[in-house]
Structure 1
Amino acid sequence: MKTSILESLKPDIIVEMLEMAVAFENWKKVMETADILYQCVLHIYEDRQYHKAMKLPIPHVQLERPLVYYFGLSHLMGGMSHQHQGAYEQARECIYKYAELGWMEDLKGEEDIQVVEEFRFLAKTNLYAVDILSGNIKLVEEYVAFLQDNLEEILPGLNTILQAALMYHLDVGDILHTFAEQIDEFGSYEDAENVSYYYSYCYHLALYYRNCGRLQDAVGITVRAMQLADQSGNDRNFKKCTALFESLRESATAEQIREYRQMLMQCLDEYETDRHFIVKSVMDNPL
């Protein structure tokens, strides 16, 4: 990317673009934007180092976080994109890059060191996930012990374990029982990231229950996943849940079917309300 273009980009704006791409699960866009972020902050870093070497005033760039954070985030998002596309070796290479960010010069402040440590921790937990998903199921027991020591990682961790269970036909019932108390708390999460993780957990749990023959449980969890997809405004995930429910319809109770239909009617009402509002706005404000 040309230097002139890099100089016009703002890292925090790129971060917002990344968050939007992740929210829509557009992993190709996530990868492209993560690379733009990396190129942008690399230019800022190299420019600073050049001015420092030449004993010139260091150019100021307005950043909401330490520069090292943007390096780590660019690799983290790139790794996430590869992981979701099943490119586990490439994901692992990205993880190695943010596992150790101490190569950067001028990491002196406490905030800088804390950021480096946070990415080092994320690298550890994400490496577990990538290794397990790529087939190293012997690590599951060790990963469970890690989750027990790091309760904040239980939701994404169980999501990983369920995906591995589906891929490699594992029985993870005992693991789910081990974390039953924490699982009961998932529904209280309100921030967008945890709601997204909870949706994914519910969707994969529904698939797991279906494979285990627990069909009514699968239906109930599918309805919950639909609610979360609707809450997040993720139409793609809502469609996936609708298809999953229809595949399980014969096992659904009358109450589950009623709840499912009620949710669809609510979505239809919301669509019609939004359409009416748009039409009215156009009529009230003609070109």
Structure 2
Amino acid sequence: MELNLDGINADSLVQMLKASFTLDNWDGILQIAERLYSEIYVFYKVNLEKNANGKSMSEFKLKRSIVYYFGFSMCLKGIALEKLGYFNEARECIRKYENLGWINGMDAEGRAEVKYYHEIAQANRYVIELHEGNTSVLSDYLVYLRHNEEEILPGVLYILDSAIKHGYNVDQVLDEFRAQLADMDEYYETRRNVRYYIDFIYLEARYYSVQGKTNDAINTILHSLETSVKLKDDTGFRKSVALFEKLRNQTTSDQLDKYLDLIEQILD
């Protein structure tokens, strides 16, 4: 479905991108990100011409450095393409935001944005390689995560997804980051960043199931259900119920009782 994005300014488009990301609306992100990039590029070129002719800058106000809009639009578009399985197209987006030093008139904030998107570009390349089953990049990706604590949870999500898809063991990764992930519980709940938080618990349960650790898988999916109920996350709840039902015949009576109790909470 085509979105009508006429007349929407850059900062509103940024908010739409963030909302679409939370909802896993990858097709919507592709449209919004492309519109944001084209809008900010036109704005940049117009202001370059005005500067060259000695005219005043546009009155159009941006809340962030212009570098941010170039980087954010292509970064989100690349993530959406990666989620949809268009890996080569995602790499093209990475190439667009990994070197933004060509932008004129940058201040300190702009230079910081250039540095950030250069670093995140390499990390997102590792993610695509992992999606394709290239586990040789895992050690390099882990080095990146160790130096970027705020990226640990989404990073472990990508690693779990790859391990599930390609059938390899990442127990050591989970063990290494167990303490940091546990410490993040409150952070992700209070900021309502439920998409990363619940997806991690759900994928961990799926991973244990694929690895044949059924009891761990069931206990983890019960934690996912409990968290989904608490945070009122319908998407996470539906996925967790589906996985539990798949494993129902292998549950203990205590596990089944806990599951039924959570279902009763929803019915009440």
Same fold (TM over 0.5): yes
State the alpha-carbon separation in 2 of the partners of residues 8 and 132 from structure 1: 39
In structure 2, the CA distance between the partners of 1:247 and 1:65, relative to structure 1 (3 Å rule), is: same
Letter matched to residue 122 of structure 1: I
Pair 1:92-2:91 in alignment: yes
Q: Say which is worse superposed, 218-227 or 97-106, in terms of deviation.
A: 218-227
Per-residue CA deviation, residues 214-239 of structure 1 (Å, 9 max, x unaligned), is 11211121122234444555433321
Per-residue CA deviation, residues 162-204 of structure 1 (Å, 9 max, x unaligned), is 1111121111112222222223223222355753222222221
Query: Within 5 A, what are the aligned runs for 1:126-137?
Result: 126-137=124-135
Pair 1:167-2:165 in alignment: yes
Residues matched between the structures, number: 264
Contact 1:195 1:228 survives alignment (8 Å): no
- Counterpart of 1:208 in structure 2 is 207
Letter matched to residue 55 of structure 2: L
State the alpha-carbon separation in 2 of the partners of residues 15 and 148 from structure 1: 29
Per-residue CA deviation, residues 239-269 of structure 1 (Å, 9 max, x unaligned), is 1111101011122233332332233233333
In structure 2, the CA distance between the partners of 1:14 and 1:132, relative to structure 1 (3 Å rule), is: same
- Counterpart of 2:197 in structure 1 is 198
Contact 1:192 1:232 survives alignment (8 Å): no
Report % sequence identity: 31
Contact 2:218 2:251 survives alignment (8 Å): yes
In structure 2, the CA distance between the partners of 1:140 and 1:113, relative to structure 1 (3 Å rule), is: same
Letter matched to residue 76 of structure 1: C
State the alpha-carbon separation in 2 of the partners of residues 181 and 188 from structure 1: 13
State the alpha-carbon separation in 2 of the partners of residues 14 and 232 from structure 1: 27
Secondary structure of the residue aligned to 1:184 is helix
Secondary structure of the residue aligned to 2:59 is coil
Contact 2:34 2:73 survives alignment (8 Å): yes
- Counterpart of 2:120 in structure 1 is 122
Q: Say which is worse superposed, 256-265 or 159-168, in terms of deviation.
A: 256-265
State the alpha-carbon separation in 1 of the partners of residues 267 and 99 from structure 2: 49
Pair 1:54-2:66 in alignment: no
- Counterpart of 1:111 in structure 2 is 109
- Counterpart of 2:141 in structure 1 is 143
State the alpha-carbon separation in 2 of the partners of residues 136 and 46 from structure 1: 40
- Residue 78 (structure 1) shift: 0.2
- Counterpart of 2:180 in structure 1 is 182
- Residue 152 (structure 1) shift: 2.4
Contact 2:194 2:233 survives alignment (8 Å): no
Secondary structure of the residue aligned to 2:91 is helix
State the alpha-carbon separation in 2 of the partners of residues 18 and 242 from structure 1: 29
State the alpha-carbon separation in 1 of the partners of residues 235 and 178 from structure 2: 29
- Alignment gaps of 5+ in structure 1: 270-287
Secondary structure of the residue aligned to 2:153 is helix
TM-score, length-scaled by structure 2: 0.90
- Alignment gaps of 5+ in structure 2: none
- Name which one, 1 or 2, has greater alpha-carbon Rg: 1
Pairwise CA RMSD of aligned residues? 2.1
Per-residue CA deviation, residues 64-83 of structure 1 (Å, 9 max, x unaligned), is 11111111110011011011
- Counterpart of 1:284 in structure 2 is none
- Residue 6 (structure 1) shift: 8.4
- Residue 125 (structure 1) shift: 1.5
Letter matched to residue 123 of structure 1: A
Secondary structure of the residue aligned to 1:8 is coil
TM-score, length-scaled by structure 1: 0.85
